[in-house]
Structure 1
Amino acid sequence: MKILVVAQYYYPEQFRTNDICKQLVQDGHAVTVLTGIPNYPQGKFYDGYGIFKNREEVHEGVNIIRTFLIPRGNNKIQLALNYFSFVIAGWFKALSLLKYDFDCVFVYETSPITMALPAIYIKKKKKIPLIMYVTDLWPENVQAAGGINNKKILGMIGIVVDYIYNSCDKILVSSKNFIEAVSNRGHNKNKIEFWPQYAEELYTDKNVADESELDDIPGGFNIMFTGNIGQAQGLDIAIEAAEILKDQLDINWVFIGDGSAKIQLQKQVKKKKLENNFKFISKKPVELMPLYLAKADAAFLSLKDDPVFSMTLPAKLQSYMASGIPILASINGEAANTVLEARAGLVNNAGNAAELAKNVLTLYNMSNEERKMLGKNARDFFEVNYKKTLLMDKFYKILNDQICISDSI
């Protein structure tokens, strides 16, 4: 197959799209990615990339075409400009892609959903199927994470969202609850399908990187969070829990990643004099994550207390489960139910620091054997539900089915 992937974020930004495209190439498919200039999550262009640098490259066999965009910056106005600039510049870049043959277009949708608009243009011009993978719900996510409550603005976004959904031949969703959320907007339930995110195979192979590249990890009982440190994650709950447990000097919180809320969290830690309980490590290559998680006693999963986040199944949950360590989840809804179903850790209601502190202490006081059993349960659940080979097989069937339907019309 010749596949065009449209994703606003791609290598060297760390998203699962990278691994999907790499696997597609390894399985003999030709993959072109239309993406932006890398700037996530720090909000400025990566070193070696820019308006006149590395706009086209080949990485791991994937042909990468980067369209202009305004970097995210660190405020809402610049973030909005980032979203709009990708759509406008992406449309112009899409014009240059019409000369190529593609069998289908695949959109890997994280926020913003508007990244699908250039893909729709190509779909209609080339008369090929469009498959979109929804990992963030809009306009719900705009309201919950962006703090936008203006009904007119949300209504206009809703119109764009419905246009995008109507233009898709197939909608894959990363959470079961998203099926109802999308279909309740009036879209055909038959074209919506649950396709959970998998964890990269490197999480099952701890020898993919050199341990000497790791930052020092504190001694004691380490609770580790990896990934984007943004407002949606609600990580201030960890600081509140740490304050409750401040007499337990050997309980540490290790945050690995960057994001819009990181500086704010570091200031809170300093203000509450909890510097000895927290270690912040800058974003690291995904290849190092299994080695870091192998040094954790528990993996921390957190999202804010909001209805849209209760429908979400965060990708890091699969990575945590693949790593085979107990999970401390401060979260509601589908993710919480998944951890409980797997018997993979302890769960508290999102935003409840007292419950989180209690769960931390419970896990801390468990025997090594009890914690190992939770980790084993997590790994077993991953093997049955989130293993890459199983989910890629399902993905190929979906792509082939859509191409066959398109060819028959």
Structure 2
Amino acid sequence: MRPVKILLYSINFAPELTGIGKYNGEMAEWLAGQGYDVRVITAPPYYPQWKVKEGYSGSKYMKEDWAPGVKVWRCPVWVPAKASGVKRLIHLASFAVSSLPVLIAQLFRRPDILLAVEPPLVISPASVLLSKLFRTKTWLHVQDFEVDAAFDLGLLPQKPALKKAVLGMERWLMKRFDAVSSISPKMTEKLLSKGVTEKKVRFFPNWVDTSAIYPLSEPVDDYRKQLGIASEDVVFLYSGNMGAKQGLEIVLDAAERTKAVTKIKYMMCGDGVAKAELVRLAKERELDNIYFLPLQPTERLNALLNTADVHLLIQKSSASDLVMPSKLTGMLASGKPVLATADEGTSVHAVITESKAGITVPAEQAEKLADAVYTLSIERERRAILGNNARIYAENRLSIESIMRDLDVAFKELLQKTENVHEGGIKVHG
């Protein structure tokens, strides 16, 4: 039998270290390892720094053999230094336009499944239209509900006519895919509310490599020594993208409220459009209990996550059920407790409650976050219990092998339906 041909279409891909690009890279590698023929249409790596990575070009087409069985085409993209609402739209549109000829060329080789990853929604029109012409099955995977988030966070103006038109277009496009998946139960419910039929909806969560992220038996001191943090201090770590939807100013507020408790320290590791302002505000407010680090390389991730006594998972209330933070899987796998700002009824709240891996406080309430920080700082035994629960949950529910095996089955079921239609004598074209 010939290998199943997958065409992955997404603006983000490895070697991006966080978010969608990280998961796309790991997914492509796993599928290729199972015998799939994987081709990828993407942009040069730029996230979360919003700067094209050295060695790549934002203005040229590039082709690379990224891994055995995985070929990657990188298309030009405009990356703004500061990503405002309008600039983000231009950025996404630049990729949609530049990738169009590559998409057409790749569809001529008749992939079995075109897997488009949202965001961005702007790649959906071409995905739907061209796949119908080339008789290719289509699968839309929604990592973020970018349209809802853009309106709720003020990235797009709150004009009723505009909102109705954009959400209507999103709804129309989503219904045209053969399968639509998302990463949490709440997000799959939202797909149904957008008009996707239940038979098309799939649950495809993010995962973690539990062999790469795991609790270390010995304390990790190198980051503490680098920053001058004592071994007995209690470290609350935020690691990941520093963007608008996180609302990370609340960490500074908590740091100010707990400043008198000298053993409480905050580490913020990563990059993003909001980082410079956070650094400026921390300096202005003389918060010497908070430390900033750049995004760390993959080989240092486990050491970084094990530096935490408690992980911080911060989100704004307005975006809390439109996205499921990809960073949560690594937090749980590291075997350390999670302190999350998550309202009751949201996906994050549900995971933390089900796993018994941490504490949740209402979003955007600095006083309650600070109170929870203080509570966890003095309850060492409780931290150990919560951390152990986190690791057990990661091993049982979030391993890459179990999640990707389910995707493998779902892909084959989707293709089997096509074969059954053809065998049944139904004339699909002309």
- Name the TM-score class by shorter chain: over 0.9
The residue matched to 2:175 in structure 1 has which SS? Answer: helix
Q: CA deviation at 1:154?
A: 1.9
Mapped to 2, the partners of 1:85 and 1:357 lie a distance apart of: 42
Cα distance, 1:213 vs structure 2: 9.1
> Post-superposition shift, 1:280?
1.0
Cα distance 1:231–1:202, how it changes in 2: closer, same or farther (>3 A)? farther
The separation in 2 between residues aligned to 1:358 and 1:249, in whole angstroms, is 15
Distance in 1 (CA, whole Å) between partners of 2:145 and 2:67 is 30
**In the alignment, structure 1 residue 370 sits paired with structure 2 residue 378:** no
2:6 aligned residue: 3
Q: Give CA-to-partner distance per residue, 1:50-83, whole Å, 9 cap, x none.
A: 1465711111222110122211431333211111
Which one-letter code corresponds to 1:399 in the other structure? Answer: F
Partner of 2:428: none
Contact 2:58 2:78 in 1 (8 A): no
In 2: Cα distance, 1:41 partner to 1:53 partner:
21
Match of 2:415 in 1: 403
- Match for 1:295: what amino acid? T
Q: 1:129 maps to what in 2?
A: 137
Other-structure match for 1:250: 263
Higher mean C-alpha deviation, range 356-365 or range 129-138: 129-138
Q: Deviations over 1:82-104 (max 9, x none)?
A: 11111112222212213323111
3-state SS of 1:9 partner: coil
CA contact (8 A) 2:144 2:324 kept: no
The amino acid of 1:313's aligned partner reads: M
Tell whether the 8 Å contact from 1:206 to 1:291 is kept in structure 2 after alignment: no
* Matched residue, 1:71: 79
* In 2: Cα distance, 1:229 partner to 1:147 partner: 16
Conservation of the 8 A alpha-carbon contact between 2:61 and 2:76: no
Q: 1:187: Cα distance to partner?
A: 2.3
1:257·1:282 contact (CA, 8 Å) conserved in 2? yes
- In structure 2, the partner of 1:327 is 338
The alpha-carbon deviation at position 194 of structure 1 amounts to: 1.8
Instruction: Please name the residue that 2:425 is paired with.
Output: none
The alignment status of 1:83 with 2:83, answered yes or no, reads no
315, 318, 333: which is aligned to 1:303?
Answer: 315
Matches within 5 A, 1:19-168: 19-51=26-58, 55-61=62-68, 62-74=70-82, 75-109=84-118, 111-148=119-156, 149-168=158-177
Give the 3-state SS of the residue equivalent to 2:245 in structure 1. coil
Q: Please say which of residues 60-69 and 146-155 is displaced more in the overlay.
A: 146-155
Matches within 5 A, 1:339-354: 339-354=352-367
Within 5 Å, give how 1:285-300 maps onto structure 2.
285-300=297-312
Secondary structure of 2:124 counterpart: helix
SS at match of 2:39: strand
Which of 177, 187, 191 pairs up with 1:182?
191
What stretches of structure 2 of length at least 5 have no aligned partner? 422-430
Q: Which moved more, 1:186-195 or 1:4-13?
A: 186-195
Letter in 2 for 1:160: M
Distance in 2 between residues matched to 1:56 and 1:213, nearest whole Å: 38
**3-state SS of 1:224 partner:** strand
SS in 2 for 1:167: coil
Instruction: State the TM-score, normalized to the length of structure 2.
Output: 0.88
- Secondary structure at 1:101 match in 2: coil
Root-mean-square deviation (CA, aligned residues, Å) is 2.1
Deviations 1:93-116 (Å, cap 9, x if unpaired)? 21221332311111222x322233
1:125 is displaced (CA, Å) by 2.5
How many angstroms apart in 2 are the aligned matches of 1:331 and 1:391?
A: 25
Q: How many residue pairs were aligned?
A: 402
Unpaired runs of 5+ residues, structure 1, are none
Whether the 8 Å CA contact 1:203–1:322 is kept in 2: the answer is: no
Aligned-pair distance for 1:232?
0.5
Q: Structure 1 residue 342: deviation in Å?
A: 1.4
Task: State the alpha-carbon separation in 1 of the partners of residues 86 and 322 from structure 2.
Answer: 27
**Contact 1:138 1:158 (8 Å CA) reproduced:** no
Do the aligned partners of 2:79 and 2:91 also contact (CA within 8 Å) in 1?
yes
| 2:204 matches 1:195 | yes
Q: Secondary structure at the match of 2:317?
A: coil
Partners of 1:32 and 1:298 in 2: CA distance: 39
Amino acid aligned to 1:293: L
Letter matched to residue 326 of structure 1: P
Choose the corresponding residue for 1:316, options 327, 346, 352.
327
Contact preservation (8 Å) 2:144, 2:322: no
In the aligned structure 1, how far is the partner of 2:214 from the partner of 2:129?
41
Q: 2:296 maps to which residue?
A: 284
What is the rounded CA distance, in whole Å, between the counterparts of 1:50 and 1:38 in structure 2?
9
The answer to whether the 8 Å contact 1:94/1:121 transfers is no
The alpha-carbon distance between structure 1 residues 250 and 205, as it changes in their structure 2 partners (threshold 3 A), is closer
Moved more, 345-354 or 86-95: 86-95
Identity level (%)? 24
Deviation track 1:15-37 (CA, whole Å, cap 9, x = no partner) reads: 21111111111222111000012
Deviations 1:107-160 (A, max 9, x none): 222x32223333324422321211111111142111123432122322232133
What amino acid is the match of 2:409? K
Per the TM alignment, residue 170 of structure 1 is displaced from its structure 2 partner at its CA by: 0.7
Checking the alignment, whether the CA contact within 8 Å between 1:214 and 1:288 is kept in structure 2 is: no
User: For 1:229, what is the secondary structure of its paired residue?
Assistant: coil
Name the CA distance, whole Å, in 2 between partners of 1:33 and 1:146.
32
Instruction: Tell me the TM-score normalized by structure 1.
Output: 0.92
